[in-house]
Amino acid sequence: MTTTLYTSDHEWLAIDGDVATVGITDYAQQQLGDVVFVELPKVGRTLKKAEAAAVVESVKAASDVYAPVTGEVLEANAELVAEPALVNSDAQGKAWFFKIKMADRSELGGLMDEAAYKAHTA
Amino acid sequence: MLARDDHDSLNRTPLHGLHVSLGGKMVPFAGYDMPVQYPAGVLKEHLHTRASAGLFDVSHMGQIALRPKSGKLEDAARALERLVPQDIVAVAPGRQRYAQFTNEDGGILDDLMVANFGDHLFLVVNAACKDADEAHLRANLSSDCVIEPLSDRALIALQGPKAEAALAKLCADAPAMKFMDAGPRKVAGIDCFVSRSGYTGEDGFEISVPAADAERLAKTLLDNPDVLPIGLGARDSLRLEAGLCLYGHDIDTATTSVEAALEWSVQKSRRSGGARAGGFPGAEKILAHFDHGAARRRVGLLAQGRAPVREGALLYANDAGGEPIGQVTSGGFGPSLNAPVAMGYVPTSQSALGTNLFAEVRGQRLAVQVAAMPFVKNTYKR
């Protein structure tokens, strides 16, 4: 059973045990517009919470995606690198960015559930 | 996000209400509340313009009539030649030419279009510079010209391969116009100024229309299913692929027309040995650049990877170490090329086509190559 949580920077985390799958929200992709390039962290890299972890670029601009939690990158979505437009078509599904093995689950405490995130973006 | 008050303090073009009703995402640009994109999005808007036709509101730009006090157009043309390195006297009635206002250091104060409307010159200048340009004209040309800002007019660009057919329905004279023809025309019965020009690399038109008629004309053009509204986002990616300069980015007060690779826009008559050589601000430096070359040059850059190389990225000769040799002045993703495109300044000695360089993006040196512009072949009707 996975739980999905959200950050105020418009990332989603699907939590399964101590592994979080991270992406950007549908709201975020709407704000960015057509995504043309995604750069993901290398597998094995240790990310600190709030560190720039990935980059998502639209025709107009580049935006950083920050690590929502501290941990080690287990997997990066190669399909997304090959087809960045997946961010626009399926932000909260096929367009996951990376999977991270969380070092400290207590970091999840500050995140929002879906209802709270909806209120945040309303 | 902008608060409501920020939007309220911005100027609005006569088409503002139309943009909002079409779902335009409004952003501040040069003091105006302008649509950066519509619901279709930058990518589709860009590709639609290259495949069909796009309508752009460029009413924020300045439109100025320059009328000779003597009644002789040549006197206005000669007067304007005191401020630009272009041959304005040779612009025939019904024709338009690209020009630059230069400063005493040879830099560029603004770039503009100058059209000969028979009894006066018609100028289109950049939005961010228009007040300064008007003051500059008044300070220098008032003895010879009446300077009349046409602030009660909107400006609509219609660009793309289907622009001619779309405009022909409303203006039977349009198809006969050639690239850079310009003059008064009736469009949908409205007294307009029409030029066959634009800022996309595509064939197309720019239509100056009285503010009161602008929305009606824009809606009539948009009734044609081939025509979609296009925001500033796609306007920027289109002009970048076309290799066209954006003032304040690719050209400014620190670049000469030669450094900017705009030699083609300076006619021989104004260069050393020409009939009216010099006589414009900064002529000494600009003509020296013509005669002896400039140390740096604006070039096109194609990245070898997929990562866009954007404005401000430093350029290096090698993949590690060394000092920067130049900087990217415009860059992004070119939807028609489906690849990153950029332009920037490099030492002239490293400006040859095919020169391999590196652009620093997020701490990494990415391979780029000096490439010919335009990146996408233009389709002007000459």
pLDDT tens digit string along B242-278? 999 999 999 999 999 999 999 999 999 999 999 999 9
Mean pLDDT, chain B, integer: 97
Q: Over 80: is that where the pLDDT of A1 sits?
A: no
Sequence letter at residue B134: E
Angstroms from B48 CA to nearest CA on chain A: 14
CA distance A87 to A94: 8
For residue B234, which residues of chain A lie inside 8 Å, CB to CB? 59
Stated as kind and residue range, the H or E segment containing B200 is none
As a whole-number percent, the residues of chain B with pLDDT over 90 amount to 97
Give the pairing of strands B53-57 and B227-229.
Answer: parallel
What is the distance in angstroms between the Cα of A13 and the nearest Cα belonging to chain B? 24
Asked if B335 and B237 touch (Cβ cutoff 8 Å), the reply is yes
**Is A83 within 8 Å of A1 (Cβ atoms)?**
no
Residue range B62-89, pLDDT digits in tens = 999 999 999 999 999 999 999 999 999 9
Q: Out of A34, A37, A61, whose CB is closest to B43?
A: A34
Which of the 8 DSSP states describes residue B85? S
| DSSP three-state, residue B302 | strand
Instruction: Give the pLDDT band of residue A116 (cuts 50, 70, 90).
Output: very high
pLDDT of residue B5: 53
Cβ-Cβ contacts under 8 Å between A and B: the total is 46
CATH 3.30.1360.120 fits B4-48+152-241, yes or no: yes
* Overall pTM > 0.90: yes
Q: CB A39 to CB B307 under 8 A?
A: yes
Please give the helix or strand (H or E) that residue B315 lies within, else none: strand B314-316
Domain ranges for chain B: 4-48+152-241, 295-375
Q: Which amino acid is at B219?
A: K
- Say whether domain B295-375 belongs to CATH 1.10.240.10: no
Q: Give, in order, the Cα–Cα distances in Å from A107 to each of A8, A41, B21, B47, B299.
A: 14, 20, 43, 44, 48
Distance from CA of A107 to the nearest CA of B (A): 27
Of B42, B44, B340, the CB nearest to A60: B42
Predicted local distance difference test score (pLDDT) of residue A60: 84
**Confidence tier at A37 by pLDDT (50, 70, 90):** very high
Cis peptide before B324 (omega within 30 of 0): no
Tell me which chain B residues have a C-beta less than 8 angstroms from the C-beta of A62. Answer: 308, 310
